[in-house]
Each structure stands twice: as structure tokens, then as C-alpha cells.
A and B are shown apart, each in its own frame.
Chain A
Amino acid sequence: DQQVKQNSPSLSVQEGRISILNCDYTNSMFDYFLWYKKYPAEGPTFLISISSIKDKNEDGRFTVFLNKSAKHLSLHIVPSQPGDSAVYFCAASAISNFGNEKLTFGTGTRLTIIP
């Protein structure tokens, strides 16, 4: 049972335009969400996160939006750059009192930025 879903395996966007990557989740216990970026032959690297007490978090060109009622989050990249071409993973966790956590990952979306 896939609790975190990324329904678009791939996405192509023109350089300079906005890239929007989507993620849906089913587990209502999830209250912390992260995006990771992965280049070929490298490990995933943390990009941006959001807690369920917020509906938006920005970091430079990257913005994550959370719609709790729809159990949906999205990552916006604007403007898109060639170096943004990578696989993006959405991940979710339930916040614990101990600071321990497991992450549940989506299947990933391959973003290609077209020069």
C-alpha cells in the first residue's frame, strides 16, 4: 500500500518556466513532509520541508505548498534551471515526541529542464 504517491513519473519544463511537482499521501498521521533531490550515481539530498502547522514554506527558488484537507503537497521551482534536472522524491513522517522518525518516500518524479 503506497502511502505517499507521486503520480507523474516524469516532467519536462522549459528553462526559466515554473516546475510543479506533486505528491499525495493517504496516512492522516503524517504531519511533516520533505522533498529530496537526487542526481544519478549520488545519494538523495534534502531540499525543503514543511510542517503541517504551515501551508507554505519558501527557500529561494523552491516553495512547498501543503493542502492538508486534500492530503496533497506540491513543490514549485521558479525559475527552473538546467541544474534542477534530477529525480525528486517526496517523503512524509509522523512527528514523534522523541525526535525519532521514519520517512516514507514516494516513487519519485524525474524532472528534465529543457534549455
Chain B
Amino acid sequence: DAEITQSPRHKITETGRQVTLACHQTWNHNNMFWYRQDLGHGLRLIHYSYGVHDTNKGEVSDGYSVSRSNTEDLPLTLESAASSQTSVYFCASSPGTGGTYEQYFGPGTRLTVT
């Protein structure tokens, strides 16, 4: 079955370290998204991609970067982790065609920056 996976599921890192969170989908979806979930803020968009080599900033992109070298993967990199980046991170994908707007989410990565 097609799916979307995230790894690791849990990560503890130190302030200042570079961290990369992986996201892999097997639906062959054009669109991929990264969100963070924080209490009182809901889901906020970090970065998104509409296809290979396309990346765009979301509303909370500072301190994060992404690259899209193939259809299946959109890794999220925290250049220099900060305590404010402690959060739960969700990756999502959507077809990007046919007028469908539903996004399909991965299980999430809980990141703690100490």
C-alpha cells in the first residue's frame, strides 16, 4: 500500500546542532509539505514543494530548509537547532492534480532541542 513515512519518530538534539528529518511518500504525489504543531498554534506551514527542484517558504520558515531532488522525498533540515524549534513535525503530500486538495499526513516526528 502507498504511504507516507517519517523518520526518526523521536529525536533529542542539542542547541546549535544541525538536524535533518526525513519524509518519504510512495503515492507519487507532486506536492509535499512540512508543518509544525505547537499548542495554541495548530499546524503551521514551514516549507512546501510542488515538484522536483521546487521549494517554497511557508509562514514559519526561518531556521529551516528543504530540498526536493526526487518525487518521493522532502527532507527538512534545521540548520542550527534552537530550543524554540522543539515541536512535533508533520510531513504531508497531495496529488497536485485533478482538483483534489486533501493532504495526507505522516505519523510525525517529535523533536526536542535541549
Contacts and interface: CB of A to CB of B under 8 A. Distances in A.
Interface of A: 6, 32, 34, 36, 41-46, 49, 89, 91, 93, 95, 98-108
Contacts of A45: 105
A42 B94 contact: no
A49 B100 CA distance: 10
Contact of A107 (B35, B42, B95): B42
Contacts of A93: 101
Interface of B: 30-31, 33, 35, 40-45, 48, 50, 58, 90, 92, 94-108
A interface majority secondary structure: loop
Given A44-B90, A107-B41, A108-B42, A95 B101 contact: yes
A41 B25 CA distance: 19
Nearest to B30: A100
Given A41-B108, A43-B108, A45-B105, A99 B42 contact: no
Contact of A42 (B30, B95, B107): B107
